[in-house]
Amino acid sequence: MKKIAIIVFMIMFSKESFALRVERIPQPCSVCGHEEEVLMTLSGNSFGARMYLDSRIHGPMVPRPHLATCSSCNLVSYNISTPICDRQAEIVNSENYQEIFKTDGASMAYVHLLKECGRDNEEIASFYLRTAWGEDDKVTGQSVFFRKLAIPLYEQFSDIESRLVLLDLYRQTQSFDKATELLSNINIPEDNCIMQEVIKMQRKLIANENSDPAMLEKDACK
């Protein structure tokens, strides 16, 4: 999961300044050929952005991906014009996929597609986490559901960035005993100020059994 952390810090400290630009762009579906208008973020920047304890960078102009759905065949993807794998059409047209789309929704249909295409657990875990962030914004009450789905996957990762994400997943799903145990087993490099601040805040939040999303202090490490 280190590549995700690198992207986070590139966004966090980028000097580029582009206004957030989101437009509806026509895209041909790679399964059925239907042309669908999909939301796409064309530009953005990190001005005014804050970092959450689970690595999310959030701000008024931070670019974010948009999951699109073909209204004809129900293909769900971030880019419906580009196949995820060679078997994509077969998978999407299957009764199993269509039933998942109908009963469980677009997000779970996309997860099924990822799994059937043989994508790795890092990509699936990252998707669950991003989906939880989106549910946080919409205040649907579904964010805990997606965080719980992410936990078994993040438990498989050993890099320190993933362990910090897992710590926050435990806390936000009110698994405070597991969070406390993990907290005692994470060794943060002394020269990594941001990670040290994350641990400091987590220690307080877990002790108070606070499961709300939390941001780093504005002046952390400055």
Of the listed ranges 14-28, 95-109, 174-188, 202-216, the least confidently predicted one is 14-28
Give one DSSP letter per residue of 10-36, joined into a string: HHHT-------EEEEEEEE-TTT--EE
**Residue 105 falls inside a structural domain:** yes
219 falls within a domain: no
Asked if the model's pLDDT at residue 15 lies above 60, the reply is no
Helices (H), 47-190: 88-92, 95-104, 106-116, 121-138, 143-154, 160-172, 176-183
Domain count, the chain: 1
pLDDT digits (tens, 9 = 90+) for 88-147: 999 999 999 999 999 999 999 999 999 999 999 999 999 999 999 989 878 778 999 999
- Give a yes or no: residue 217 inside a domain: no
* pTM score of the predicted model: 0.84
Query: Is residue 215 included in any domain, yes or no?
Result: no
29 in any annotated domain: yes
Q: How far apart are CA 25 and CA 35, in angstroms?
A: 10
In a domain, 214, yes or no: no
Give domain status of residue 213, yes or no: no
Share of the chain above pLDDT 90, in %: 65
Q: Which residues span the domain enclosing 134?
A: 2-207
